């Protein structure tokens, strides 16, 4: 009987605790890009936000990358968009043009969030027609050239050679043969192909689109870079037109590939492997600095959200210096958070920061996906031996027609 009385007293005491009414429930969608176990850390951050903001509840939905774009698109079309979602940098233009996401320019200015707190390229990727439609969330850069030190040593190649077009070609030639391949180029129809090929073009001083929006892929700098990659492809594994960065990773990890092209995101995988690895920041002609292609995600607030003020509070929390590093699996877009994150999680943090600060975003166009589709075809044509100038002229005709 005594026990029952104790339990009843305990129950009454618990019921007497103040209950915080969660007036607002925000839907937050994010994509699961890696298997880093990030969701636990993310969950802790979300719990912290809810503890600090008892009037707001957050429901996080994590969707695998291959399904993510389609799920978001269907949700927006069906009027069921979440309050906040991460958007790939290359999608933001389309979502902004469709008026599906909120212009955050005034809110950001009011909150003192400015471009200099983030990587410039990441901030620019959230700007569409002079308005800010997203908060830079996480970033990375294509590509770092990860190399197998043992294969380099065996061929008498110095890692410094890989930073130049000429050095990379010579090194790739030396390391190709006996079942080994010099360079992990890939050419399947995917964004990783576009990002890597762009970086060769950027590093040679070329552009995808000129400042007036016209196609610049048939300009001399871009064509020269395309011809260079076409020549380099002879030192890549057989069958690159159907290969992705993931396929090259498999070859790199089994020791049959000397150099693979990946963002810094690759480091955790390499750290857990037995490969004796190192990396350099992409590659460029002698005397030029390698320029990478930005990749990453922005946080966007949807027009259909009924809780925009609460959503903005959560967005500010996620991109803050204290939190940004805990909730991303790439590199935090907040530069101060990135420095802390890189020092704790990546080899060569200064080197990575330098490459990030020098990277360029892909074209900021509402029709980016159509442009990228033409680019993929161009790169496949070039990698399969079509004359680079002719292929680029055809591609530019199609891109200019789109624009």
Per CB under 8 A, 243 contacts another protein? yes
Among 43, 57, 97, 339, binds another protein (CB under 8 A): 97
Residue 83 tokens read as 């309050």
Gap between the Cα atoms of 258 and 277, Å rounded: 10
Gap between the Cα atoms of 259 and 181, Å rounded: 8
Among 182, 187, 295, 349, binds another protein (CB under 8 A): 187
Closer residue to another protein (CB): 90 or 162:
90
Per CB under 8 A, 384 contacts another protein? yes
Of 103-111, 260-268, 319-327, 369-377, the segment contacting another protein by CB under 8 A is 369-377
Closer residue to another protein (CB): 49 or 379:
379
Among 44, 239, 289, 350, binds another protein (CB under 8 A): 239
Number of residues that bind another protein (CB under 8 A): 29
108 to each of 113, 135, 373, how far by Cα in Å? 5, 9, 33
Per CB under 8 A, 98 contacts another protein? yes
Q: Write down the least CB distance from residue 312 to another protein, Å.
A: 25
Q: Write down the least CB distance from residue 95 to another protein, Å.
A: 8
Other Cβ atoms within 10 Å of 148 Cβ, number: 23
Per CB under 8 A, 63 contacts another protein? no
Closer residue to another protein (CB): 38 or 189:
189
Per CB under 8 A, 373 contacts another protein? yes
Q: What mask of x and - would describe binding to another protein in positions 248 to 267, judged by CB under 8 A?
A: ---x----x-----------
Per CB under 8 A, 54 contacts another protein? no
115 to each of 126, 127, 296, 335, how far by Cα in Å? 10, 11, 16, 10
Where b means 16+ CB within 10 Å and e means fewer, 105-127 reads eebbeeeebeeebbbbbbbbbbb
* 78 φ/ψ angles, rounded to the nearest 5 degrees: -90, 0
Per CB under 8 A, 238 contacts another protein? yes
Per CB under 8 A, 189 contacts another protein? yes
For another protein, the binding residues (CB under 8 A) are 69-70, 73, 76-77, 94, 97-98, 187-189, 237-243, 251, 256, 366-367, 369-370, 373, 377, 380-381, 384
């Amino acid at each position: 009987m005594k026990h029952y009385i104790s339990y009843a007293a305990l129950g009454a005491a618990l019921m007497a605790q103040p209950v915080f009414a969660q007036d607002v429930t925000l839907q937050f969608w994010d994509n699961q890009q890696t298997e880093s176990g990030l969701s636990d850390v993310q969950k802790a951050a979300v719990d912290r936000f809810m503890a600090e903001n008892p009037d707001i509840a957050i429901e996080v939905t994590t969707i695998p990358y291959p399904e993510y774009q389609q799920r978001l698109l269907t949700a927006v079309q069906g009027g069921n968009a979440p309050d906040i979602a991460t958007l790939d940098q290359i999608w933001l233009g389309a979502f902004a043009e469709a008026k599906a996401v909120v212009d955050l320019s005034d809110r950001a200015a009011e909150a003192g969030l400015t471009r200099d707190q983030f990587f410039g390229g990441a901030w620019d990727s959230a700007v569409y027609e002079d308005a800010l439609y997203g908060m830079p969330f996480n970033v990375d850069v294509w590509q770092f050239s990860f190399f197998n030190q043992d294969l380099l040593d065996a061929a008498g190649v110095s890692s410094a050679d890989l930073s130049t077009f000429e050095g990379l070609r010579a090194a790739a030639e030396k390391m190709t043969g006996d079942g080994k391949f010099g360079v992990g180029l890939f050419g399947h129809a995917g964004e990783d192909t576009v990002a890597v090929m762009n970086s060769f073009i950027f590093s040679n001083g070329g552009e995808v689109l000129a400042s007036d929006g016209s196609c610049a892929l048939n300009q001399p700098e871009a064509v020269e870079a395309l011809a260079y990659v076409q020549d380099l492809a002879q030192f890549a594994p057989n069958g690159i037109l159907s290969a992705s960065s993931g396929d090259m990773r498999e070859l790199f990890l089994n020791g049959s590939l000397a150099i693979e092209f990946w963002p810094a995101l690759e480091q955790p995988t390499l750290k857990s492997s037995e490969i004796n690895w190192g990396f350099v920041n992409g590659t460029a002609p002698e005397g030029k600095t390698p320029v990478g292609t930005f990749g990453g995600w922005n946080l966007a607030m949807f027009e259909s959200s009924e809780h925009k003020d609460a959503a903005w509070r959560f967005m500010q929390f996620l991109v803050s210096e204290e939190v940004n590093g805990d909730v991303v699996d790439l590199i935090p877009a907040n530069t101060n958070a990135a420095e802390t994150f890189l020092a704790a999680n990546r080899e060569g943090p200064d080197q990575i920061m330098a490459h990030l600060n020098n990277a360029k975003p892909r074209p900021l166009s509402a029709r980016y996906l159509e442009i990228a589709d033409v680019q993929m075809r161009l790169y496949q044509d070039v990698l399969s031996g079509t004359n680079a100038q002719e292929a680029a002229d055809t591609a530019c005709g199609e891109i200019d027609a789109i624009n």
